Amino acid sequence: MMTADEQSLLRLMEEVLPAVSVWEQKKRKPAQIFSLPVVVALMLFQRLDEEGTQQAVVRRLVEGRLDRLLPDGKRVRERNISPASGGYAGACQSLPVATMEKVCDQLLDELGQRIEPEPELELPVLVLDGSGISLEHRPQLLDKYPRSRNQYGQGHWGMLKLVGLHDARTGIALRPAWGPMYGEKAVSEQALAQQAIKRAPAGSVILGDGNFGIFSFAYAVQQSDRRMVFRLTAKRARAMGAARLLPQGEMDFCWKPSRHDRRANPGLAADAEIHGRLIVVSLKGWREPFYLFTTLGESAEKIVRLYCLRWNIEVDFRTLKVTLRLRHLRGKSSAAVEKELLIAVVAYGLVRACMALAARRAGLTPRRLSFTQCYGWLNDMLEKLFSPHAATREKAFDRMLKFMAGAKLPQRKKQRVYPREIWGHRQSFPNRRPPKTEGQKTK
């Protein structure tokens, strides 16, 4: 017997677009094959499919695996659907970004309702962080998302900066914020984060590393009626008086903006301040003390244990980039890139929501399950979940959750530790080098 939450998620997957589809279909011809529900379903299939090509998902459509979503028309009744991917590609291209944002907001809001409070705090805990995504080398993309630049020169690919907000327990993501990473219009992670936190549940706790432990952002979190646990850099913490607490301690602190904060953020109110606690922790094996600022009233031990959940978003970003192939977006225009990014976050949230329900069945925490295995089970069951028969859909959903509940990660007696090094990606060819100038010596 399925619970109410399980039935709710199954209905979401059955309908694909509960409200937007009806509004959108009124603008389309009844016999058009690539209606909005079909396009969104195929985009989800493509993102979840291991092959990940347009031809692979159109093949599923031709084989009759999405008949329940198709409109009633002559070509559908006679099974005369073209196996070419051009129609699907054109439908994706003509889909407005605004409509895609509305669709994804609706789906992510529905998935976000499954974000559960942290048991000890009785509040949702969300982890905040940013990452970079490379884009295709296309003039239109490079104008909006310029190429990277470092001490060795200019890169080849355009770069997009992404800031995400993920539930610490389940990993379900809210709609991220993004912008150019380089160039004259480059946007900071803190500015993007201020957009992202608006979608967080009211009263939730925001976790962030030292990049977000600055006054302007912490004040924005407080003004949005949300709590915070931020790590501080050693320099900033000592300027706030943390040296008096070494090697370990805590004190109440009223954080006020410095002159530099005022210059960088002229819009700050004259009486801007944040009342909270400054916590310093030193443990055996740590290279340096840990500086935290929080507006929570929990003990220092609980705050440190809570902040340790921040590492989960690093694992989430790795999963998004590797398993869901978000490391490099293949879209040839900014609109295509944004739609590809949005549907990837929806697909990721769908897997995480199923994992949360499966873990609840097994009496486990969602992070104890393997994302890769659960992702595989959802991909295998997708066709049956879109079956025209309700009994088949319910049976497939129940079996999928059962299989996911058994996809437990191993419990290692000793935690694996890796050195802090950059792991390069495997390359088939050597790195391209600029041509030598006349003044350089040849070997």
pLDDT tens digits, one per residue of 51-101: 888 898 888 888 877 777 777 777 777 777 888 888 889 989 988 888 888
Q: pTM for the full model?
A: 0.87
Cα Rg of the chain (Å, integer): 24
**Residues 87, 89, 95, 100, Cα dihedral to 10°:** 130
Tokens of 125: 């805990």
Is 128 within 8 Å of 174 (Cβ atoms)?
A: no
Tell me the helices (H) and strands (E) count for the chain, helix number first.
17, 10
Q: What is the pLDDT of residue 232?
A: 95
Q: What is the pLDDT of residue 66?
A: 74
Give the three-class secondary structure for 66.
coil
Tens digits of per-residue pLDDT, 384-430? 887 778 888 889 889 999 999 999 998 877 776 666 676 666 666 66
Across all residues in the chain, what is the average pLDDT? 85
Residue with tokens 């295998």: 380
**What distance in Å separates the CA atoms of residue 312 and residue 294, rounded to the nearest whole number?**
19
| pLDDT more than 70, % of the chain | 88
> What is the DSSP pairing of strand 227-231 with strand 205-208?
parallel
Is 191 within 8 Å of 183 (Cβ atoms)?
A: no
The fold for domain 101-318 equals: Transposase Inhibitor Protein From Tn5; Chain A, domain 1 (3.90.350)
- Strand partners for 281: 290
Tokens of 311: 């590492």
Q: What angle do CA 211, 213, 219 make, to 5 degrees?
A: 125
**What distance in Å separates the CA atoms of residue 365 and residue 363, rounded to the nearest whole number?**
7
From residue 346, alpha-carbon distances to 103, 340, 350, 352 in Å are 10, 10, 6, 10
Is 65 within 8 Å of 79 (Cβ atoms)?
A: no
The beta-carbon contacts of 363-370 under 8 Å, at least 24 apart in sequence, are 364/405, 364/408, 365/169, 366/169, 366/170, 366/171, 367/169, 367/171, 367/312, 368/408, 368/409, 369/404, 369/405, 369/407, 369/408, 369/409, 370/407, 370/408, 370/409
- Strand partners for 208: 230
339: Cβ–Cβ under 8 A, 6 or more apart, which residues? 43, 92, 95, 97, 100, 331
Is 368 within 8 Å of 409 (Cβ atoms)?
A: yes
Q: What is the pLDDT of residue 70?
A: 77
| Burial per residue of 191-224, b for 16 or more beta-carbon CB atoms within 10 angstroms, e otherwise | bbbbbbbebbbeebbbbbbebbbbbbbbbbbbee
**What distance in Å separates the CA atoms of residue 145 and residue 136, rounded to the nearest whole number?**
10
Tens digits of per-residue pLDDT, 359-388? 999 999 999 999 999 999 998 888 888 777
- pLDDT of residue 182 exceeding 50, the answer is yes
Range scoring the smallest mean pLDDT among 41-45, 255-259, 281-285, 432-436 = 432-436
Range scoring the smallest mean pLDDT among 132-136, 242-246, 289-293 = 242-246
Q: What is the pLDDT of residue 255?
A: 95
Which of 199, 196, 252, 194 has the alpha carbon at shortest distance from 223?
Answer: 194
**What distance in Å separates the CA atoms of residue 241 and residue 438, rounded to the nearest whole number?**
56
**What distance in Å separates the CA atoms of residue 39 and residue 264, rounded to the nearest whole number?**
45
Give the three-class secondary structure for 8.
helix
Q: Give the orientation angle of helix 86-94 with respect to helix 334-362, to 10 degrees.
A: 100
Question: Based on the number of CB atoms within 10 Å of its own CB, is 322 exposed (0-12), middle (13-18) or buried (19 or more)?
Answer: exposed
Identify which has the larger pLDDT, 293 or 48.
293
Q: What is the pLDDT of residue 14?
A: 63
Is 240 within 8 Å of 255 (Cβ atoms)?
A: yes
Is 60 within 8 Å of 88 (Cβ atoms)?
A: no
Is 213 within 8 Å of 228 (Cβ atoms)?
A: no
- What confidence category does residue 436 fall into, taking pLDDT thresholds of 50, 70 and 90? low
**What distance in Å separates the CA atoms of residue 99 and residue 300, rounded to the nearest whole number?**
45
- Strand partners for 125: 205
**What distance in Å separates the CA atoms of residue 440 and residue 443, rounded to the nearest whole number?**
10
Q: Domain boundaries in the chain?
A: 101-318
